[in-house]
Amino acid sequence: MINRFMRYTNPCEKMKPDQHTVYCTFCDAPEHVYPGHPDHPGRLQPMRAWLEAPPYPEITWLDYKPAPEEAILRVHHPALLDRLQQSSRSGPREIDPSPTYVTKGSYQAARQAAGATLALSRRFLTDGQGRGFAIIRPPGHHAEPNRATGFCLLNNIAIAAADAIASGIRKVAIVDFDAHHGNGTQAAFYNIPQVGYLSIHEENLYPGTGRLNSAPDAHGRIINVPLPPFANRAVFLGIFQNIVTPWLRKFGAEMLLVSAGFDTHFSDPLTTTTLDTCAFYEISQLLIELAEAYCQDRILFVLEGGYDPLALQDNVQACLAALCGRSTFPNRFGNAPDGYAQITVNINHIQALHHLSEV
């Protein structure tokens, strides 16, 4: 029998004494759909009920508009926008072998997803702090300045980061825990010293980038932590303690953006990483605490992957529970299976590579 709401009692659990408003946006892009593709509106549609009755009273939904071209062009080349508009007009069709598709409504859907992200980041800049979640599709972190790829048309999180820098924020940090490397985000900021990027991902998956030494000119600012298959909660928490924490302490960002990809859940059909819903709750709590300590209490989760719709719903809601200082969330899949080979990550080597040992 499915236990709809389970109380999670991990000893790491903390209740925040102060309850924050948690701002959210929702874009399920029903017009962006292609037969048999893993990224489809059904990923998010079970969550639509939240619009009518948010599960936690701290949640406030924000309205948004399509991202203005001016903001998109801080990250993407005009030629990509032209290609997306033209290919959308002649859609539905595949525009990249990754496979990435467009339909007649895809260009507008991509601008809506980017706009839903911008509405939150801009709100946090105005307010001086803020916590929230852009629950959106199509995802963004694979979209490169001049190429739509990896199911991604526009790079939502990169557009928000570039917009924050243009608005006067001194530094933005991006942490990416999607199972795939965010090649697009790394490419967008490879030469931009105000933006740091740290990606934890499964090695040898699409797009094949994100190796340990793949950003030699940006050590200490762009950090890639590729993991062997079947990495679990313990591996992730060790990386958060020993790499993510000292990096955020040292980098000095004024806003933390999170590429929240839930294809690291053990049920996901595209990956082997074995996180479970409780692990996402813990990771979210850690990131919120780190943002509070080192990023002026500004944290925005931006949805990336996650291709088991039921697991995605639970995982997003666990993240929202952490944002709201709540301790109950749905956990229909239970604990990740164990019994996989012990995964080891050379933490000392990564710390030395990025000058984090002394932080």
Minimal distance, residue 150 CB to Zn ion, in Å = 8
Measured from the CB atom, the residue of 97 and 216 that comes closer to Zn ion is 97
Measured from the CB atom, the residue of 42 and 57 that comes closer to Zn ion is 42
> At which residue do the structure tokens 């990956």 appear?
271
Minimal distance, residue 330 CB to Zn ion, in Å = 22
Minimal distance, residue 268 CB to Zn ion, in Å = 8
Catalytic residue IDs: 142
| Residue 101 DSSP class | E
User: In angstroms, rounded to a whole number, what is the distance separating the alpha carbons of residues 8 and 16?
Assistant: 15
CB-closest chain residue to Zn ion: 305
DSSP calls for 136-202: ESS--TT-BTTB-BTTBSS-HHHHHHHHHHHTT-S-EEEEE-SSS--HHHHHHHTT-TTEEEEEEEE
Measured from the CB atom, the residue of 64 and 151 that comes closer to Zn ion is 151
Minimal distance, residue 167 CB to Zn ion, in Å = 28
Closest CA to 151 of 316, 315, 314, 306: 306
Respond yes or no on whether the N-terminal peptide bond of residue 17 is cis (omega within 30° of 0): no
User: In angstroms, rounded to a whole number, what is the distance separating the alpha carbons of residues 317 and 329?
Assistant: 6
Helix (H, G, I), strand (E, B) or coil at 224: strand
Paired tokens of 68: 């203005």
Which segments of 250-297 are extended strands (E)? 255-260
CA R_g for the chain: 19
Residue 65 CB contacts under 8 Å (≥ 6 apart), including other chains: 115, 119
Minimal distance, residue 301 CB to Zn ion, in Å = 15
User: In angstroms, rounded to a whole number, what is the distance separating the alpha carbons of residues 141 and 224?
Assistant: 14
Measured from the CB atom, the residue of 202 and 282 that comes closer to Zn ion is 202
The Cβ of residue 305 has, within 10 Å, a number of other Cβ atoms equal to 28
End-to-end CA distance of the chain: 48
Measured from the CB atom, the residue of 66 and 140 that comes closer to Zn ion is 140
Measured from the CB atom, the residue of 178 and 314 that comes closer to Zn ion is 178
Minimal distance, residue 51 CB to Zn ion, in Å = 25
- Binding positions for Zn ion, rule: CB under 5 A: 178-180, 261, 263, 305
Contact 106, 138 (CB under 8 A): yes
